[in-house]
Structure 1
Amino acid sequence: MKKTLLIIMITASLTIVGCSSLQLQPADFSWAAEEIVDVNGKGMVDAKRYSVAFTVSALLAQEFGADSAAAKGTKELRLIRDKAGFYYVTGKKFKNVYVLAQGDGALSVASTLSISPEKQMDDPKFDQKGSYIELWNGKEKFQLTKGAAQPLGGKK
């Protein structure tokens, strides 16, 4: 009886331990530098250095709305990844930065950061700053996190 109870308890405890998920922390998913990616004819981008590829057709449609010529004219995007694993995407003529979260075989828009609501960005560039992503648009500088864009002082 005691032997049977002991075997049941050991089996149950091993089953419980075996079913719990293992979490490895801390983890740093950040990219040291932005990746400039070409948009191909099928609306795909491929960041070969970081082994990630995805479609941007829906993102371009959201950014440019009814202006399909601007969406089709987008040949290049800028892409960077933060420490938590969120992707930041923007490009010339964009007014926003899109923060993308990774899911099962897909990326979804976690947030849309309004950078230049009045006019399109001329020459956006990302820079990795550890705890945040920095965005330069000409002489304007912004501190980006997954949910906010804050203007920063300073000229480049």
Structure 2
Amino acid sequence: MIYITEEQLDLPGLLAASHHPGAGAVVLFSGEVRDNNVGKKVDYIEYESYAPMASKMMNQIMEDARQRWDLQIAVAQHRIGKVKISESAVVVITASAHRSEAYASNRYIIDRIKHEVPIWKCEYFADGTSVWGGNCNCHTETGDLNKHIYESENG
């Protein structure tokens, strides 16, 4: 499995390869670049990663998810380089016998990728400014570097 890539993510291809006769549920999450953040217009995002370590960590996250849930499929890829508005920066696909496991495992995988894997992003804004940060910017919403959106009541 290629976890880190400079190529545009092939969502239809990945989804087509993610069906299994024992799976009654397939969940695809696509994390896409939006045109705004923190009240500013975003032009694009550039991602960087230490790919050998990131790939190893993503592989471990997939294995952890497979052990925790009865998954037939667990796939994840993250782009590096320039990612334009409305393009997918990260995809996670999970397939299991039932939807509850497919949804729960998918959320588990994306949350761990965003908060643990060494991937950094630089947001380029329309006003000419840019901001480097981690793959997670939950602290801009929660006000706490140690609190993530998925841990809040509304997340």
TM range (shorter): under 0.3
- Select the structure that is richer in helix: 2
For normalisation by structure 2, the TM-score amounts to: 0.27
TM-score (ref. length: structure 1): 0.27
Q: Which has the higher contact order (CA 8 A, sep 6+)?
A: 2
Pick the structure with greater CA Rg: 1
